[in-house]
Structure 1
Amino acid sequence: METRLYFIRHAHSVYTPDERERPLSESGYADAQHVKEVLENERISRVLSSPYKRAVQTVEPLARSVGSGIELMEGFRERQLSEGPVDDFAAAIAKVWSDEDYAFQGGESNREAKARGVAAALEVLERYPGERIAIGTHGNLMVLVMNHFDSRYGVEFWRELAMPDIYCLRFDGVELAGVERIGITVAGP
């Protein structure tokens, strides 16, 4: 029985230091509508999301279209890179991807964040076998989950993601059967 998880990296957001409450930008709202339009015909049965506002706002139009609420799952929140801002974001990301056990003070290592995200994905696969489920999430966490199932997905893949971006992971039970990028035209920041 095939289960499809549609991982949706959130649309462009307005920067605020409050990670949980960072909202979508004007172009992000337009892109959330595109997400809905692209996925309307995929027979999505339910919508899940990271509790972070930008992820929820990205999947809200889709949830309304599907006629479903949004089930929030803490396991799909973005990885905590550090307890505060880092001086060089690109270098910090390179560091955590080069050493899966390295964590900045107050942050999660790739191993920790991946374990959390994979546990959430496996929970979804167990609870909703055979369904097609949209999941609003974040780029780094999405790629960490994908990397667990297929090591080809790493930091270089993450660097190429758009905002928003959609990847459909097809599963036979808990075994990855395939990955497909769902094309979407984005408004951009």
Structure 2
Amino acid sequence: MTSSYLRNPALLGILVAGGLAFGSSAMAAPEGLYSADELLDADVYTQADPDDEIGEVEDILLDNDMQVRAIVIDTGNLLDMGERQYVLEAGQFTVETQNGNDIENIEYRVMVDMSEEELTQQPEYTNDWWQNARQGAQEAWEQTKQGAASAWETTQEGASQALDRIGQALENVGERTQDAASE
């Protein structure tokens, strides 16, 4: 089940041009350019057992800035818990590139620095999670926007007060200079 927004060439170009910014701790050796299409369905492994596949990338979640916010790992029946999909935030995984010099043969391996048990403790990718995450992101955006507006208003008010004080000081200097000249 591939998301339709990743099939949009313009959006895919923005995503790839954005470098799939996984966060500063998410990539050991950045390649500079990544293919979202190739990342989808990439095999997922744990750092503790890099030869035992635990799932594959089902989806890539982007924020308003088109930066990678998280990936969704589909475990299928690999964890003996039935098919489950888990959300891993940027910084909880790394991406290793294989055959990076050949677009026809490029492959990615996603490495998770947690055990299979720890993976099952991550949020499940469900409609409830989606709705809560969207609401939380919208609230965070509104708070950021309000905080930025408030900071701008405070800056403007402070600058205005400073200019008023400077104007008053100049006026006082001017009055004293006139008084000194008339004496």
TM-score bracket, shorter-length normalisation = under 0.3
Scaled by the length of structure 1, the TM-score of the pair is 0.22
Larger of the two Rg values belongs to structure: 2
Scaled by the length of structure 2, the TM-score of the pair is 0.22
Q: More relative contact order in 1 or in 2 (CA 8 Å, sep 6+)?
A: 1
